[in-house]
Structure 1
């Protein structure tokens, strides 16, 4: 992986963990995620204003963008649910690790991503770190949160592949981001309306407007860096390396008062070691 792409993915990983940690701090993460994505949609639209050339030169790119948006909508809903019930470090590990296990076979068998000894070793070490980190038996309501984190894992794998296919069909990252979140936001709003809790979103904004704006801005920047890297690097490599955000999430969880055990700390070390192997120039 080129050094520039490596830096983009690592920065994206940190920002992704940071905006998830800020979402966890909100009193109602399910209401908070709606306001955060609303901010991200506005910022994504402003980013797309700087486009040069056609946003979606092919119908395939447009269709994959819509598909990515559907995956994003379910992912964001399940993410908020998992953060409501489970600790940040544990929920994040299950979601990102599960996505890794799903997307690598797809990338190699369907997207034609090449394998090298270093990438295989890196993926193996990183995967072992995810397994070690996740060897914690959830108790009480945390078990429900982990189940939702499993749903998030499927969605993360889905939107990574959809984004990669859209970019491969010529879609430009700013337009793709704006389209996907414009599809995801109505899905989130629909879940709030069905639950009769749409007023909680406005209450969340009034209660902590700066937190909502900061979280939305970090979310936007994280995805912008991800799509920029994904346009030039394979989906499996990007998703695997981006899972270094688990180590960042564990550190942020400690700052929020969580106390990860030895297994989670050991897993974080393995995750970082795998990232180094995966990102080592060929």
Structure 2
């Protein structure tokens, strides 16, 4: 990154860097098994906000880590995210036909290929992270962090709770809904921040401040997602709008209403600001990403 770049310019540079790295690391579509490889590339290369790798770069560079040391964790967390979207879109889960304005993987290919592509993306994530340009202790710590965030105590656990809450069988309390999304959405976002911190050798007190920011960011990201499903349109979102209500999913607008959801989003924005304040100017890129999460249109 150019030292004189603004946070927004830095984010653009990091996004270009991760896109180029994904292009290099994914297996070629013309290499056997071609259908599987093409599906993996379809899942990972069709754009997206790249919020998770951006958080890795923003955190790590704020505390002195090189971009080269951050490439592997940035790639790994985006590959895990891509795998999760492939599986989330399957008929057995959210049964969605549109992702990032393109057919979802099971629609573009088939369900079996989509399942295998998701599995292969997750495997590639951990293989990539195992080769991080960090010392052995940091690498093991990052592997553990990502494994927990992706598993039953993180993203998969949150998805299971979401499935249980879909269909109106039981109305969740607000604390239960926040816990669900702290796992389903928040765990991988928090892991992204933690991976950057581990790579940079950040001390425990600073990590605690970063966790406060990341926890608020993860919840804000989901509240905004829920609001966009109510207020957005499919063309802008790049995915099917209105599906939460159609499937009777547990969402913030459904539970507390649109206005209260907006108020909660404002509270979370303040929490992020308060958490980053002690870190001073070095947290500028993280602050910019927090604003992006709460103001985005897709």
**TM-score, normalized by length of structure 1?**
0.39
**TM-score, normalized by length of structure 2?**
0.38
Q: Which has the higher contact order (CA 8 A, sep 6+)?
A: 1
Bigger fraction of residues in helix: 1
